[in-house]
């Protein structure tokens, strides 16, 4: 019976790692639902064994729980119908982070970092291969299984950040190839013609280069020049390879700063959403309008033409604004807590040989999600909410050497 229980735990660990690191873009929208189902199962087991409270003792688990409570509180106070409160469960992965972390912490060992980095690298390569195949087949904007090109591109960048942790942690020659996953992730973004995810690319590359410079190459100026050249090369490639959506990005940015009229339709719609969202936030700045009225609350502040278009949209294409309009100041506090939790927990994590890599991984993940959230929804949709929490838990709890981590912290 004990052996059977051990096999079930090992199977659950491998299934979670595979879903989060290897096939999240291949499985598409099936990914978050399977992860949530596994998380609920773990929570039930911990409840029966009376270990639920213990699972919420780690700092990251408590902070994610606090973010969920803040959102549930805001949506409850602003609710106009009982079902409005149910929108808090868009963020159920924040609640399930603790039981999943409890399971993964128990499975951590000396090979965890290698395993996580390699699996994430495989995930990036599979994503790139899938996108390249569909692109060669004539698809102008390749997608995953019920997964849009922007969502897919942000996922590839997040996986590349986890893969690159191995270069900082492992110190082996082969690990120097792991940052190439960032190049594949950017290539994926270019092939899907996704402009929004490119916002995070330059800060992500600079952040990565800085960590590698100080931790792996001892301040080598050669690496600094290589990173700068890579940033310039990727920017040039993005411009030259795509004469449509991506190549219009410099002109759009120039128009924004000069005050000229923006002729790009997508950008014009989003600017109208941002202006209307700000006004809707001022209507209810403390608790917001609730997620159920996220879009209806901004329509009165839009022109009739823009309002007709906005009625077909599920969100405001900006994470901070989504949280501000739906949850007010309380919602924004929850957003900041969600983004900051992995970074805070990584800095406060055990001082083992992989702590620096965890700090990098958490910071890189935050960079991807903040950048992606400037022009799209990253939290509140089941896919990226689940993926962000899973990757955070893997970085913080699985990428530890159990021999160097006190049991009271590991669990």
User: Over the chain, what HEC string results?
Assistant: CHHHHHHHHHHHHHHHHHHHHHCHHHHCCHHHHHHHHHHHHHHHHHHHCCCHHHHCCCHHHHHHHHHHHHHHHHHHHCCCCHHHHHHHHHHHHHHHHHHHHHHHHHHCCCCHHHHHHHHHHHHHHHHHHHHHHHHHCCCCCCCECCECHHHHHHHHHHHHHHHHHHHHHHCCCHHHHCCHHHHHHHHHHHHCCCCHHHHHHHHHHHHHHHHHHHHCCCCCHHHHHHHHHHHHHHHHHHHHHCCCCHHHHHHHHHHHHHCCCCCCHHHHHHHHHHHHHHHHHHHCCCCCCCHHHCCCCCHHHCCHHHHHHHCCCCCCCCHHHHHHHHHHHHHHHHHHHHHHHHHHHHHCCCCCCCHHHHHHHHHHHHHHHHHHCCCCCCCCCHHHHHHHHHHHHHHHHHCCCHHHCCHHHHC
pLDDT tens for the chain, 411 residues: list them.
Answer: 567 678 889 999 999 999 999 999 999 999 999 999 999 999 999 999 999 999 999 999 999 999 999 999 999 999 888 888 889 999 999 999 999 999 999 999 999 999 999 999 999 999 999 999 999 998 888 888 789 999 999 999 999 999 999 999 987 889 889 999 999 999 999 899 888 898 899 899 889 988 988 887 776 666 667 666 766 666 665 555 544 444 454 444 444 444 444 445 677 777 888 999 999 999 999 999 999 999 989 889 888 888 888 788 888 889 999 999 999 999 999 999 999 999 999 999 999 999 999 999 999 999 999 999 998 899 998 999 999 999 999 999 999 987 555 444 443
Q: Check: CB of residue 192 under 8 Å from CB of residue 142.
A: yes
Distances (CA, A) of 245 to 40, 84, 156, 249, 273: 41, 37, 19, 7, 20
Give the pLDDT score at 96: 98
Cα 348 to Cα 358: distance, rounded to the nearest angstrom: 10
Torsion of CA 333, 312, 369, 124, to 10 degrees: 150
Other CB atoms within 10 Å distance of the CB of residue 244: 10
**Would you state the structure tokens that stand for residue 241, as one six-digit string?**
């390879």
**Would you state the structure tokens that stand for residue 96, as one six-digit string?**
């399930």
Give the pLDDT score at 395: 98
**Would you state the structure tokens that stand for residue 33, as one six-digit string?**
């639902």
Give the pLDDT score at 410: 43
In a 13 Å sphere around the CA of 404, the CA atoms on its Cβ side amount to 15
Paired strand residues for 147: 144
Q: Can you give the residue ranges of every domain in the chain?
A: 11-242+317-410, 251-310
Paired strand residues for 144: 147
**Would you state the structure tokens that stand for residue 162, as one six-digit string?**
């986890």
Give the pLDDT score at 326: 94
Which is nearest to 349 in space by CA: 362, 331, 366?
A: 362
Separation of CA 5 from chain center:
32
Give the pLDDT score at 262: 44
């Amino acid at each position: 019976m004990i052996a059977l229980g051990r096999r079930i735990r090992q199977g659950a660990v491998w299934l979670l790692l595979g879903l989060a690191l290897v096939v999240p873009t291949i499985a598409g929208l099936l990914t978050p639902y399977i992860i949530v189902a596994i998380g609920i199962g773990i929570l039930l087991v911990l409840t029966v064994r009376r270990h639920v409270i213990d699972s919420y003792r780690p700092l990251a688990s408590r902070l994610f729980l606090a973010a969920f409570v803040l959102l549930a509180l805001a949506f409850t106070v602003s609710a106009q119908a009982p079902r409005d409160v149910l929108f808090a469960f868009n963020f159920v992965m924040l609640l399930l982070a603790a039981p999943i972390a409890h399971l993964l912490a128990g499975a951590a060992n000396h090979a965890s970092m290698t395993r996580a980095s390699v699996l994430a690298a495989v995930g990036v390569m599979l994503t790139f291969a899938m996108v390249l195949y569909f692109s060669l087949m004539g698809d102008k904007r390749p997608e995953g299984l019920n997964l849009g090109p922007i969502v897919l591109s942000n996922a590839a960048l997040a996986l590349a950040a986890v893969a690159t942790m191995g270069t900082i942690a492992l110190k082996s020659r082969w690990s120097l190839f792991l940052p190439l996953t960032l190049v594949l992730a950017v290539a994926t973004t270019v092939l899907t013609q996704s402009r929004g995810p490119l916002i995070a690319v330059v800060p992500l590359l600079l952040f990565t280069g800085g960590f590698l410079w100080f931790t792996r190459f001892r301040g080598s100026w050669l690496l600094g020049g290589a990173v700068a050249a890579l940033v310039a090369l990727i920017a040039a490639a993005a411009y030259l390879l795509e004469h449509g959506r991506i190549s219009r990005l410099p002109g759009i940015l120039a128009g924004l700063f000069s005050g000229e009229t923006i002729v790009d339709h997508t950008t014009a719609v989003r600017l109208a959403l941002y202006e209307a969202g700000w006004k809707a936030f001022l209507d209810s700045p403390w608790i917001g309008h609730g997620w159920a009225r996220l879009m209806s609350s901004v329509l009165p502040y839009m022109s009739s033409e823009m309002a007709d278009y906005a009625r077909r949209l599920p969100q405001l294409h900006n994470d901070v604004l989504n949280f501000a309009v739906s949850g007010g100041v309380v919602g924004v506090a929850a957003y900041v807590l969600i983004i900051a939790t992995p970074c805070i927990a990584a800095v406060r994590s055990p001082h083992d040989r992989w702590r620096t890599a965890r700090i990098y991984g958490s910071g890189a993940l935050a960079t991807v999600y903040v950048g992606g959230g400037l022009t799209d929804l990253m939290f509140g949709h089941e896919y990226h909410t689940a993926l962000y929490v899973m990757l955070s838990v893997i970085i913080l709890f699985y990428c530890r050497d159990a021999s160097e981590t006190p049991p009271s912290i590991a669990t």
